[in-house]
């Protein structure tokens, strides 16, 4: 038979649909499994209503056999062994009828459970692959930062990481001798932190622990940071999502695998980045001029393989 070659446009459309279905395989399987479970319940309920009708004839045969034995007893023609054999056959027939009655529901239920497990298995494999890929990227980034620190020092690494630049600004001060105002120039550091990068999150009015009192907010964050360090020390590991929950911040996918591993040589390893002096907004928060703050967490990276 000659192969039929589809037009390129149709072929691309088919491949696109197939790829999307493959991409969403876990969701499709789970939804199908849940739907099948509901159908199984309905089918089982309907089958239950037919039990008496299906087993009526079998019940009557068993009752007649028992009545016959009670009235006539056993004889050479019909021994107790024959009686037990007949009951076994009749009860077996009852079991087969029950199985046939519930067989469709059992089949649908089995397929549904298989679909759910298959979807979970696909998702688990993808998560393992994703975690492995992230671990490679994270290791390469740490190695790169290590080389930068070895060659140029921690200061340059900090400037590059937070995009810190030095600018000359004019500032009006009061001359202590004359009491008059005068303008002076000084060098200050300005940091541009991208809130969408890495794991930085705002602690603001959307968080349950936030208040209108800047001093209380600072005290709350310091206490939560200390609690996170205590938890890390006692358990040996800490996930970023757990810290997010402490602060009332929404969990993230990355937070399920990203976190900290305890190091006995490092005191207070978990750092929320509250005292980042390179960020003017953080300085204003610590000094009580701001109620909210952008927290940047110093996670170790993917810790699943290290636990």
Give the Cα separation of 54 and 170 in Å (integer).
95
Among 29-33, 64-68, 222-226, 228-232, name the one with the lowest average pLDDT. Answer: 64-68
What is the residue extent of each domain of the chain?
Answer: 8-151, 164-192, 195-306
Tokens representing residue 129 in the block: 């692959």
Tokens representing residue 303 in the block: 């810790």
Which tens digit of pLDDT belongs to each residue from 203-216?
Answer: 999 999 999 999 99
Give the Cα separation of 282 and 290 in Å (integer).
8
Beta bridge partners of 190: 165
- Residues contacting residue 228 through CB under 8 Å, at least 6 positions apart: 238, 242, 243, 246, 270
pLDDT recorded at residue 282: 87
Length of the chain: 307
Res. 65: pLDDT tops 90: no
Q: Are 204 and 236 in contact (CB under 8 A)?
A: no
pTM summary value = 0.49
Which tens digit of pLDDT belongs to each residue from 127-169?
Answer: 777 777 777 777 887 888 888 888 888 878 777 776 677 777 7
pLDDT recorded at residue 287: 92
- Give Cα separations from 253 to 67, 141, 154, 239 (angstroms): 69, 20, 30, 11
Give the Cα separation of 135 and 119 in Å (integer).
24
- Residues contacting residue 284 through CB under 8 Å, at least 6 positions apart: 290
Which tens digit of pLDDT belongs to each residue from 9-63?
Answer: 676 677 667 767 777 888 888 898 899 999 999 998 988 888 888 778 788 888 8
Res. 177: pLDDT tops 90: no
Nearest alpha carbon to residue 249 among 294, 296, 205, 203? 203
Cα torsion 284, 286, 292, 298 to 10°: value is 110
Composition of the chain by helix, strand, coil, percent to 5: 60, 10, 25
Alpha-helical runs (H) found in 153-213? 154-161
């Amino acid at each position: 038979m000659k192969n039929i070659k589809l037009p390129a446009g149709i072929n691309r459309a088919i491949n696109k649909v197939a790829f999307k279905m493959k991409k969403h395989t876990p969701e499709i399987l789970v939804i199908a499994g849940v739907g099948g479970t509901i159908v199984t319940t309905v089918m089982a309920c309907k089958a239950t209503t037919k039990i008496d009708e299906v087993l009526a004839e079998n019940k009557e045969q068993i009752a007649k056999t028992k009545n016959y034995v009670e009235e006539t007893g056993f004889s050479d023609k019909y021994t107790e062994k024959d009686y037990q054999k007949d009951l076994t056959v009749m009860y077996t027939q009852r079991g087969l009828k029950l199985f046939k009655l519930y067989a469709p529901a059992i089949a649908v239920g089995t397929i549904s459970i298989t679909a759910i497990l298959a979807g979970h298995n696909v998702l688990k494999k993808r998560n393992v692959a994703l975690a492995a890929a992230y671990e490679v990227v994270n290791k390469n980034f740490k190695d790169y930062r290590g080389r930068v620190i070895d060659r140029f020092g921690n200061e340059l690494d900090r400037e590059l990481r937070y995009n810190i630049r030095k600018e000359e600004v004019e500032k009006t001060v009061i001359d202590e001798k004359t009491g008059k105002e005068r303008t002076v120039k000084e060098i200050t550091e300005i940091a541009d932190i991208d809130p969408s990068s890495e794991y930085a999150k705002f602690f603001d009015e959307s968080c349950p622990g936030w208040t209108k009192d800047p001093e209380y907010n600072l005290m709350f964050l310091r206490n939560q940071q200390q609690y996170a360090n205590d938890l890390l020390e006692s358990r040996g590991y800490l996930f970023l999502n757990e810290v997010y929950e402490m602060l009332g911040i929404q969990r993230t996918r990355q937070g399920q695998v990203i976190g900290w591993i305890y190091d006995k040589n490092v005191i207070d390893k978990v750092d929320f980045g509250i005292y980042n002096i390179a960020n003017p907004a953080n300085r204003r928060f610590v000094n009580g001029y701001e109620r909210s703050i952008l927290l940047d967490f110093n996670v170790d990276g993917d810790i699943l393989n290290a636990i």
